[in-house]
C-alpha cells in the first residue's frame, strides 16, 4: 500500500481524529445485534491509545433525516466499545461545537471519546468545507479507518483531510493491501465469484475482473440475464432485458481473453418468491413458463465447488440466490463452504456474502472478510475511493 499509516506518525499526547465505521445493525430496542465493525476497529483504537494518543472517534449511524434522532445516537456504540476496551469511552453530545471541543481538549493520553452521529448534520454528506473545518478543530492528526465509507466523499471521510495530516488506520491498511494484492498480483489460478440480483449493479466489477481473472463464476439473479443471452426462456425469472446484449458482449469478451465464464447448468425454480411456494430443480434451459429461478441447482453448486477448489486466489461478492428465504439458500451456503475449504487466499468482498459465510459458520476459515459493501464493490471495479485518495502518500526511502 502506498499510503502512510498510523505507524508513520508520532501520536503521543496528540488529538487523533479517527473516522471509524460504526454503522452497526440494531434492533428496535436499540440493542446492537452485530458488533463486527466495532471489533474490526479495535486494533487501530488500541494502538493509538497505547501510544498515548487522545483518541476522538467519528462515525455515522443509519440515515437520520436532517437532524438528531434518538434511535440513531451512537451512545449504545460507545457503551459497547467501553465494554470491549475495558475502559470508559466518553460520549459527546454532538460532533462539533465549543462543548465538544472542550471535551476533546480535556482528554488525557490514552483516553477515548465518541462523537455523536456525524450525519445529524446535513453538511456531512454535502462535504461542506466549513463543517469539515469544524471537525478538524478536534484533531491534530486525521486517521481514516472506515473502509466501508471510503467510497463516499463526505466531510468526515474526505473533506477533513484538507485541514489535517491524514493517514490510514490498521483496518484500512489491511483492506487495501489484501484486496489490492488480489487484483494487482494474484496467485493463480484467480477465481472470482459474482452474484446478486442485477447485472446492472455489477457491470463495472465484471468488466474489471475479466481483465484479471482466470475463471469468472456467475450466480444469483444476474445469471438469468446471461442465460437469456444464450437464448434460454427464463419464465418469470428476474431478467434485465435491456442488459441481455451487454451480457452477450461480456461472454464474448471472456472468450476472447481466454477467461472461463461459468453459468448455472441447473436451477431451483419456484412458482412464487415465497418460502412455502412449490419448487423444483430444472436444467437451466428448461425454466417452466410462469416459474422463476431463485437459486443455483445442486449440479451447478458441485461444479462451482470443484472450480473454487482449484483457486489460489478466490474473491466472492454476491449471493447465488434469494438466500434470505431458507428453501433458496442452499446454493449460497454451498459456495460459502466451498470458499472456506479452498486452500488458497480467499476474500469475501463485503455485502451479503459476509452474511452468508457467517450463517454457514465458516467465517473463521476465510483469509479476509471485507467490512465494506459499496466500497468493496467499487474497489473491485478498479475505481479510486475518495476516502483513500486523500491520505498522505508513503515516503519512499532509498
Whole-angstrom distance, CA of residue 238 vs CA of residue 215: 24
What are the φ and ψ backbone dihedral angles of 129, each rounded to 5 degrees? Answer: -60, -40
The answer to whether 334 and 345 are in contact (CB under 8 A) is no
Nearest Cα to Cα of residue 203 among 254, 246, 233: 246
What positions carry a catalytic annotation? 37, 198, 351, 374
**Partners of 56 in beta bridges:** 17, 113
DSSP E strands: which ranges in 20-77?
54-58
The terminus-to-terminus CA distance of the chain in angstroms comes to: 17
Cell 492528526 found at = 141
Cα 156 versus chain centre, distance = 18
Task: Round to whole Å and give the CA distance between 133 and 118.
Answer: 13
CB of 75 closer than 8 Å to CB of 117: no
d(CA 330, CA 353): 13
- CA–CA separation, 370 and 376 (whole Å): 7
What H or E segment, with its residue span, contains residue 217?
strand 215-218
Measure the CA–CA gap between 255 and 106, rounded to whole angstroms.
63
Whether the CB-CB separation of 240 and 221 falls below 8 Å is answered with no
Q: Are 139 and 164 contacting, i.e. CB atoms less than 8 angstroms apart?
A: yes
The answer to whether residues 123 and 95 touch, using CB atoms and an 8 Å cutoff, is no
Amino acid at each position: 500500500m502506498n499510503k502512510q499509516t498510523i505507524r508513520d506518525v508520532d501520536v503521543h499526547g496528540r488529538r487523533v481524529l479517527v473516522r471509524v465505521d460504526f454503522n452497526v445493525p440494531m434492533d428496535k430496542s436499540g440493542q446492537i445485534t452485530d458488533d463486527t465493525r466495532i471489533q474490526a476497529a479495535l486494533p487501530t483504537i488500541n494502538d493509538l491509545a497505547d501510544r498515548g494518543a487522545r483518541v476522538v472517534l467519528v462515525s455515522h449511524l443509519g440515515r437520520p433525516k436532517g437532524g438528531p434522532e434518538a434511535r440513531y445516537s451512537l451512545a449504545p456504540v460507545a457503551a459497547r466499545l467501553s465494554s470491549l476496551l475495558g475502559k470508559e469511552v466518553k460520549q459527546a453530545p454532538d460532533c462539533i461545537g465549543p462543548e465538544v471541543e472542550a471535551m476533546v481538549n480535556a482528554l488525557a493520553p490514552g483516553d477515548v471519546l465518541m462523537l455523536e452521529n456525524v450525519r445529524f448534520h446535513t453538511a456531512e454528506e454535502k462535504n461542506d468545507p466549513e463543517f469539515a473545518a469544524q471537525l478538524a478543530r478536534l484533531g491534530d492528526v486525521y486517521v481514516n479507518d472506515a473502509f466501508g465509507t471510503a467510497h463516499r466523499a463526505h466531510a468526515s471521510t474526505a473533506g477533513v483531510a484538507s485541514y489535517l495530516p491524514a493517514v490510514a488506520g490498521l483496518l484500512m491498511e489491511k483492506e487495501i493491501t489484501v484486496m489490492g494484492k488480489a487484483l494487482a498480483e494474484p496467485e493463480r489460478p484467480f477465481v472470482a465469484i459474482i452474484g446478486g440480483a442485477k447485472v446492472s449493479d455489477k457491470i463495472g466489477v465484471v468488466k474489471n475482473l475479466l481483465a484479471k481473472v482466470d475463471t469468472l463464476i456467475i450466480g444469483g439473479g444476474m445469471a438469468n440475464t446471461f442465460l437469456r443471452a444464450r437464448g434460454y426462456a427464463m419464465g418469470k425469472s428476474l431478467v434485465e432485458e435491456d442488459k441481455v446484449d451487454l451480457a452477450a458482449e461480456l461472454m464474448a469478451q471472456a472468450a476472447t481473453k481466454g477467461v472461463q465464464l461459468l453459468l448455472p447448468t441447473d436451477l431451483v425454480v419456484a412458482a412464487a418468491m415465497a418460502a412455502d411456494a412449490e419448487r423444483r430443480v430444472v436444467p437451466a434451459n428448461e425454466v417452466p413458463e410462469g416459474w422463476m429461478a431463485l437459486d443455483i441447482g445442486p449440479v451447478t453448486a458441485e461444479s462451482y465447488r470443484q472450480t473454487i477448489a482449484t483457486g489460489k486466489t478466490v474473491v466472492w461478492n454476491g449471493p447465488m440466490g434469494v438466500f434470505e428465504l431458507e428453501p433458496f439458500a442452499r446454493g449460497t451456503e454451498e459456495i460459502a463452504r466451498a470458499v472456506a475449504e479452498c486452500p488458497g487466499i480467499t476474500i469475501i468482498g463485503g455485502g451479503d456474502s459476509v452474511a452468508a459465510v457467517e450463517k454457514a459458520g465458516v467465517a473463521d476459515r476465510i483469509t479476509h472478510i471485507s467490512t465494506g459493501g459499496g466500497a468493496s464493490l467499487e474497489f473491485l471495479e478498479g475505481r479510486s475511493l475518495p476516502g483513500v485518495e486523500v491520505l498522505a502518500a508513503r515516503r519512499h526511502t532509498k
